Chain A
Amino acid sequence: MTARISRRAALGGVAAAAVLPSVRARAQGAKIRIGVLNDQSGPYRNTGGPTSVICCKQAVQEFGAHGFDIDVIYADHQNKPDLGAGIARQWYDRDGVDMILDVPTSSVGLAVGAVAKEKDKAYLNIGAATADLTGKQCAPSIVHWSYDTYMLAKSTGGATVRAGGTTWYFVTADYVFGHQLQRDATTFIESAGGKVLGASAYPFPGTSDFSAFLLQAQASGAKVLGLCNAGADTVNSIKQAKEFGLQARIAAMLMFITDVHALGLQTAQGLTLTESFYWDLNDRTRAFTDRVRPKTPDNWPNMIHAGCYAATLHFLKAVADMGVPAAKQSGSAIVSRMKAMPTDDDCFGHAHIREDGLLIVPSYLFQVKTPAESRGKWDYYKTAQVTPAEEAWRPLSEGGCYFVKS
């Protein structure tokens, strides 16, 4: 009897031993898949595009081995909300994507947000500016990194008025992002004692000739031309303003170092703009840039690229902390873990993600250097003003996010 039991036990032991490695192998085979969804071919290619993918992969590489595989895929949403939402749906449903990263263009960013909310999957938005992602259209599985319209308007709008730019005229891209930027900037300009004389909205996308709008700006006699647009549109409107010899100073409400590079210092000098990251801010940002630069020699990282790196790194830390099976189950679980853990990376230093999903970091008002001041490649910015982290962003209670308890 005992012999039989022990034989059975032995058989069971052998069977268990045979099963065990396969279980372990499956655990090792667990894979976290990241999908970078952005504009690979249109006006926002340089501000996001392939460099975002490179920075995401850089984070994966630096994160190293933690017992699970990490896979990065990417796609082009061509700035079409339905195409972006379609790809997001397929990635989450079919292709096993656990987190979608970047997604510039506010309309696409919000459409993908709706999919992420429906499927309870992690969505780290870096490239879209709309503050609604952590406001009216927030979701427990969404994180918004690097910048939003409120932070840009507060920094660029408020500071320029204090420097004497008291009257404004806006040239605005006619979509949600442009209008939101203009609305927020107007609030800060007026509260700082400035005045908005007028605004022109132009069709987006597809406008390349801004002359009619620039002439209206000139006729208004405003001291500051506020550009509520982004990417190639900003570059084109600044170039044309220079060609027209526009007297007003130009405040780009959303501009990146990649745009300054495209313009050249001769045209861009004197512009004011806001970013939350600059490669030459401190030793850590320089170290990050030195690591990633060889992979993208012609397009150095801006705040979107830095955000893609930092957000991916923090996401992977949270996944490692909670374990892959739990992470794969719920996007909001990963994101709440990300909110619970303080962030620490070379681009943004020590910071934290607020309850509504917003990363809280300082914002920097930069002025573009003159060609004489610039000492080398991509040496473009001097810091004009720093807004501390606690003042830079929209107060938590004003966002209108449904799950924030006020």
Chain B
Amino acid sequence: MRGASVSDTSGITRRSGLRALAFGFTGAQATALIILVAAIILGPAVLYPVFLMKVLCFALFASAFNLLPGYVGLLSFGHAAYFGMGSYLAAWTAKYWGIDAEIAILIGGAAAGALGLVFGWLAIRRQGIYFAMITLALAEMVYFFCTEASFTGGEDGIQQVPRARLLGMFSMQADMSLYWLVAFVFLVGFLLIHRIIHSPFGLVLQAIRENEPRAVSLGYRVDQYKLLAFVLSAALAGIAGATKSQVFGIATLTDVHSSMSGEVVLITLIGGIGTVFGPAVGALLFGALETYLAPFGDWVTVTQGAIFVACVLAFRRGLIGELAARLRLSL
């Protein structure tokens, strides 16, 4: 991870002109982005759009999560709290207030960001395993709150959420129109995350990851950087959850459960922690496993487990991380 970031910084000095043209992308990253956009456009012709929408939501969720362990060096075990809260609030407001899709999604993101501000403020005071444990404990409290609170519908969840309209005029009933909205939300979130990582702010975050005392000695208020990164990550996770609740018309305890926090870690791990494109690839692989193995009944969980073990043993840097290392590129 350290080696990759060193080549990253030297890349900035060498090709800064080109980068500015390509929204901060290196040549390899621009190629990967073109492949990604092409896949999003051509995907629905081959695969089931609802499945792809789920993958895009998880890809955004994992990319948002990746911001913390990948670029600040903070491993959060409680990201389901932000994902789930975004999902619940978007579903609730869309169902009972009848608001537009984009407002519901933004409300979900804002609520998750606010929650992230409180939780982040507490959690960033510690590092490593203690940080992970605090985020886990806070997320468990959110889970308990959601099982008991009446507005979440308990185990039943918020069901039969209507697909809201977009900007008050476009119907989102058809799968394909909703697909373009989800694709748009994902791409905006993805580009934002990319921009955050490659901004001066992102470089400070990476400096904190590499050597926090040195960043402090250089005069950076490390806690403020960490907190902002935490809030951004939580808000984007909330937007991913809110979008998912729009797709499926349902928000349930699954979204806030600790297994969801684990899933996002695994998705990011499979794709490659600390790579821009890794989480999206991980989400596709993970979504495919869950959906296409469903007919095999009780073998789903066994197969998933075996694949995870294989991935962690054989590709420790994740699929994209290994690929990037093989090609000596930063993806």
- List residues of A whose CB falls within 8 A of some B CB: 40-41, 45, 49-50, 73-78, 80-83, 85-87, 89-90, 93-94, 106-107, 110-111, 114, 137, 174-177, 179, 203-204
In the complex, residue of chain B having the shortest beta-carbon distance to the beta carbon of A76: B297
State whether A107 touches B50 (Cβ < 8 A).
no
* Known interface pairs A76-B298, A87-B294; 5 further A-B residue pairs with C-beta atoms within 8 A, sorted by A's residue number: A41-B297, A41-B298, A75-B295, A76-B296, A82-B157
User: Looking at the complex, which one of A49, A93, A174 makes contact with B154 (CB distance below 8 Å)?
Assistant: A174
B248 at interface, CB cutoff 8 A: yes
Q: Which 9 pairs show the lowest CB-CB distances between chains A and B?
A: A175-B155, A40-B297, A41-B298, A75-B294, A176-B156, A114-B160, A76-B297, A81-B252, A107-B156
Q: List 13 A-B contacts (CB under 8 A).
A: A41-B301, A49-B297, A75-B297, A76-B296, A76-B297, A76-B298, A76-B300, A81-B159, A82-B255, A83-B254, A83-B294, A90-B51, A176-B155
State whether B159 touches A114 (Cβ < 8 A).
yes
User: Looking at the complex, which one of A93, A110, A111 makes contact with B48 (CB distance below 8 Å)?
Assistant: A93
User: Looking at the complex, which one of B51, B249, B298 makes contact with A40 (CB distance below 8 Å)?
Assistant: B298
Chain A residues, Cβ within 8 Å of B50? 86, 89-90, 93
Chain A residues, Cβ within 8 Å of B5? none
State whether B156 touches A90 (Cβ < 8 A).
no
Q: How far is the CA of A248 from the CA of B296 in the complex (A)?
A: 42
Chain B residues, Cβ within 8 Å of A203? 147
State whether A111 touches B294 (Cβ < 8 A).
no
Where chain A touches its partner, the secondary structure class is helix
Chain B residues, Cβ within 8 Å of A179? 154
Query: If A75-B294, A76-B294, A90-B291 touch, does A111 touch B250 (CB 8 Å cutoff)?
Result: yes
Chain B residues, Cβ within 8 Å of A90? 48, 50-51, 291
Chain B residues, Cβ within 8 Å of A86? 50-51, 54, 248, 291
Chain B residues, Cβ within 8 Å of A93? 48, 50, 175
Query: Tally of A-B residue pairs with Cβ under 8 A?
Result: 91
Number of interface residues of B (CB under 8 A): 29
Where chain B touches its partner, the secondary structure class is helix
Q: How far is the CA of A90 from the CA of B51 in the complex (A)?
A: 8
Cβ distance A172 to chain B, nearest Cβ, rounded Å: 12
Q: How far is the CA of A73 from the CA of B50 in the complex (A)?
A: 20
User: Looking at the complex, which one of A73, A74, A81, A106 makes contact with B254 (CB distance below 8 Å)?
Assistant: A81
Give the residues from 290 to 328 in chain B that come closer than 8 angstroms, CB to CB, to chain A.
290-291, 294-298, 300-301
Q: How far is the CA of A90 from the CA of B50 in the complex (A)?
A: 8
Q: How far is the CA of A106 from the CA of B157 in the complex (A)?
A: 11
Q: How far is the CA of A279 from the CA of B252 in the complex (A)?
A: 37
Q: How far is the CA of A393 from the CA of B233 in the complex (A)?
A: 51
Q: How far is the CA of A195 from the CA of B153 in the complex (A)?
A: 28
Chain A residues, Cβ within 8 Å of B255? 82
Give the residues from 43 to 88 in chain B that come closer than 8 angstroms, CB to CB, to chain A.
48, 50-51, 54
State whether A74 touches B295 (Cβ < 8 A).
yes
Cβ distance A65 to chain B, nearest Cβ, rounded Å: 26
State whether A50 touches B156 (Cβ < 8 A).
no
Give the residues from 236 to 268 in chain B that come closer than 8 angstroms, CB to CB, to chain A.
244, 248-250, 252, 254-255
State whether B54 touches A175 (Cβ < 8 A).
no
Q: How far is the CA of A150 from the CA of B254 in the complex (A)?
A: 28
State whether A80 touches B254 (Cβ < 8 A).
yes
State whether B252 touches A107 (Cβ < 8 A).
yes
State whether A85 touches B147 (Cβ < 8 A).
no
In the complex, residue of chain A having the shortest beta-carbon distance to the beta carbon of B87: A82
User: Looking at the complex, which one of A41, A77, A85, A174 makes contact with B249 (CB distance below 8 Å)?
Assistant: A85
Query: If A40-B297, A40-B298, A74-B297 touch, does A81 touch B249 (CB 8 Å cutoff)?
Result: no
In the complex, residue of chain A having the shortest beta-carbon distance to the beta carbon of B153: A176
State whether B252 touches A80 (Cβ < 8 A).
yes
Chain B residues, Cβ within 8 Å of A73? 295
User: Looking at the complex, which one of B54, B154, B156, B244 makes contact with A110 (CB distance below 8 Å)?
Assistant: B156
B279-298 CB mask vs A (1 if < 8 Å, else 0) is 00000000000110011111
Cβ distance A77 to chain B, nearest Cβ, rounded Å: 8
In the complex, residue of chain B having the shortest beta-carbon distance to the beta carbon of A80: B254
In the complex, residue of chain B having the shortest beta-carbon distance to the beta carbon of A45: B298
In the complex, residue of chain B having the shortest beta-carbon distance to the beta carbon of A78: B300
Cβ distance B175 to chain A, nearest Cβ, rounded Å: 7
Chain B residues, Cβ within 8 Å of A176? 153-156
Q: How far is the CA of A175 from the CA of B297 in the complex (A)?
A: 24
In the complex, residue of chain A having the shortest beta-carbon distance to the beta carbon of B302: A41
Q: How far is the CA of A114 from the CA of B153 in the complex (A)?
A: 15
State whether A106 touches B154 (Cβ < 8 A).
no
Query: If A41-B300, A86-B54, A93-B175 touch, does A175 touch B156 (CB 8 Å cutoff)?
Result: yes
Cβ distance A264 to chain B, nearest Cβ, rounded Å: 24
B153-197 CB mask vs A (1 if < 8 Å, else 0) is 111110110000000000000010000000000000000000000
